[in-house]
Structure 1
Amino acid sequence: MLRKLSAIALAVSFLAMATSGLLMFVIEKPSFTIQMHPVHKLFGLVMVVAASIHIWFNFRGLKAHLQNHKAAIFGGVLVVALVLLYAVAINNKLPDDLAQQMDSAAAAAEQKK
């Protein structure tokens, strides 16, 4: 039963993350990003839990995929890209006053529910 529930949660959370992420990508306004923040944040958490359970149930299959050298290299390239993008994002600091304004606006948007 847990396998079925995690598969459904993974599918729905992927749909929520994909649509909210694409909308934020297309509508490049910080105000819209702040509006979508609660949806993206909540379903991001659901997706992490569901994906963890999914990986747990399918770990042998994942290991088998990684035996293919092309698949392993592709996964490695994606991991390197992820680490590099995190490094760029972390080192791209906003001015403190702007960051505080955005944090306050996000907190206010989440409290409006």
Structure 2
Amino acid sequence: MTTAAAPATFTNPLLPSGADPWTIYHDGYYYYTHTTGGNLTLWKTKSLAELKTAEKKVVWTPPATGPNSREIWAPELHYLQGKWYIYYSADAGTNQTHRVWVLENSSPNPL
């Protein structure tokens, strides 16, 4: 019997990288985000299959210093009572101070 070797790696067909992915569908669009390591970025697309070419925008850049300036992880985008909210984790450079933070946007478009 012959067995084929399993591939050593997997390549995501939607995006080449993106830890902690999050997607929400609202008014005909998918809004996607993931941990980028340095900011909060949103993608907007009619089809998740087209995520590589989707409109993309950095919606928040952390301050140079402060309690939410480092280790920005796991963003989540939510639409609640007519407003957009992005929840994310961050700290000041030490994991002991890691907290959940929130941004609010009253615009109909989260980008």
Shared fold, TM over 0.5: no
TM-score, reference length from structure 1? 0.17
Greater percentage in strand: 2
Max radius of gyration: which structure? 1
